[in-house]
Amino acid sequence: MCGIWAVFGSDECVSSQCASAMKVAHRGPDAFRIENVNGFTNCCFGFHRLAIVDQLYGMQPLRIKKFPFLWFCYNGEIYNHRLLRDQFQFETQTEMDGEILLHLYDRFGIQKMASLLDGVFAFILLDTANRKVFLGRDTYGVRPLFKSVTDDGFLAVCSEAKGLTDLSHALDTPAKIVPFLPGHFEVFELKQNGKVQSVQMEQFHCCTKEPAHAIYDTVERLSTGFDMETVKTNIRTLFENAVRKRLMAQRRIGCLLSGGLDSSLVAATLVKLAKVEKLPYPLQTFSIGSEDSPDIIASRKVSFSLANVSPSEKQTKLTYKLNRNVSLHIFSFILPDRCHLCHLKF
Ligand SMILES: NC(=O)CC[C@H](N)C(=O)O
């Protein structure tokens, strides 16, 4: 997660509005920043960071020397950022995956920028040189984004609706808070007083169409045909690639595991790829349920079987009593031969 928040054209002093930005502080434990926009005193960004890549230089709102007029705030991961950087020979200033959006926007404009991204994202991009604000969200809406626009052009945006509920503005009627449409981008013109006007709302991708970035993807070409073997091989290739591309994270990777088929397949593929990529830490799986519920029993079985040890071997157990009703169980395993079991009880 990360928490993003921004207001444009605030009638109230932004320093009092930005108390609302703190309502999404839980989304980013590593660092936060609140920054008003130089030259547009009624505009302000708030950002809470869970750093996934480039801990040192990836703080937001991101601004880089090459494009001093761009301000960028986003929540997400762009899996193909290195591929696009190399493909278009961009000179990036940081290793942060989101920086690629600034280069793509500058070279190709907003429509092509959004459609070249392979990832999960919700973004706010401000271009002070052209007086535009852009919002966008990934095809499936994996990353959340809410907006609120008043009739007189005060725009507020946040990862969660709660960051918008207490904002004050000049109109009598409260502004509606709506989820931003997945797979779309929106363009606003920005006036000198910071107020905006929506001028374009467009779908850049829908899930039934091949994404524009596919031509640059490194995933091996899929065979055509609908015979059983071809279909199975294609699913395997795509599935494995979906797990592989998520290994870009510089944070320790874990898996949410219910013990059912889907999450167990993800965990098994992750274990396989972790060996190939030589991840230097034990993988962890996280499950939630009451003590001895089917999910916990199943996920425990899967965890131990993936770790290739029997539950009775090399097992440690920690219990914290926090609450009577819910148990959160955390299993972790290291390959090839060490296994820990942590059991956190609420
Ligand atoms: N949690 C996030 O949304 C992370 C944003 C960005 N990918 C980073 O690593 O900082």
Task: Give the pLDDT score at 155.
Answer: 97
Q: What would the two tokens of residue 266 be?
A: 């993800």
**Ligand 1 pocket residue status of 98, Cβ below 6 Å:** yes
List, for the chain, all residue ranges whose pLDDT scores fall below the cut of 70: 308-346
Query: Cα of 3 to ligand 1 centre, how many Å?
Result: 10
Return the active site residues.
2
Report how far ligand 1's centroid is from the alpha carbon of 65 (Å). Answer: 20
CB 163 within 8 A of CB 17: no
Query: Is the Cβ atom of 257 under 6 angstroms away from ligand 1?
Result: no
- In sequence order, the 6+-apart residues with CB closer than 8 A to the CB of 107 are 88, 90
Ligand 1 proximity of 2 Cβ (cutoff 6 Å): yes
How many angstroms does the Cα of residue 77 sit away from the middle of ligand 1? 6
Q: Cα–Cα distance between 297 and 198 in angstroms, integer?
A: 51
DSSP string spanning 146-202? EEEE-TT--EEEESSGGGTTT---SSSSPPP-EEPPTTEEEEEEE-TTS-EEEEEEE
Tell me what pLDDT residue 255 has: 87
Distance separating alpha carbons of residues 278 and 176, to the nearest angstrom: 49
Best substitution site from 1, 30, 32, 52 to test ligand 1's pocket, by max atoms within 8 Å of Cβ? 52
How many Å from the N-terminal Cα to the C-terminal Cα in the chain? 23
- Report the C-alpha gap between 154 and 159 in whole angstroms: 17
Nearest ligand 1 atom to the CA of 54 is 9
CA-based nearest residue to 158, from 46, 77, 63? 46
Amino acid 316: pLDDT? 35
Which pLDDT value is given to residue 332?
A: 56
Q: Evaluate: CB of 187 within 6 angstroms of ligand 1.
A: no
Q: How far apart are CA 299 and CA 287, in angstroms?
A: 7
Alpha carbon distance 199, 196 (integer Å): 9
> Cα of 55 to ligand 1 centre, how many Å?
9
Residue closest via CA to ligand 1's atom 10 equals: 51
Residue 1 near ligand 1, beta carbon < 6 Å: yes
Q: For the chain, list the domains and their CATH numbers.
A: 3-203 (3.60.20.10), 220-315 (no CATH)
Distance CA 214, CA 220 (A): 11
Complex prediction ipTM: 0.97
* Nearest atom of ligand 1 to the alpha carbon of 60: 10
Would you state the pLDDT for residue 167? 94
Ligand 1 atom nearest the C-alpha of 53 is 9
- For residue 163 and ligand 1, the question of a CB distance below 6 A is answered with no
Q: For residues 197 and 216, what is the distance between their CA atoms, to the nearest angstrom?
A: 35
For residue 304, the one-letter residue type is F
Q: What is the pLDDT of residues 171-189, one digit of tens each?
A: 888 889 999 999 999 999 9
Cα separation, 3 vs 227, in Å, equals 45
61 lines ligand 1 (CB under 6 A): no
* pLDDT, position 328: 53
Residue 120 Cα to ligand 1 midpoint, Å, equals 10
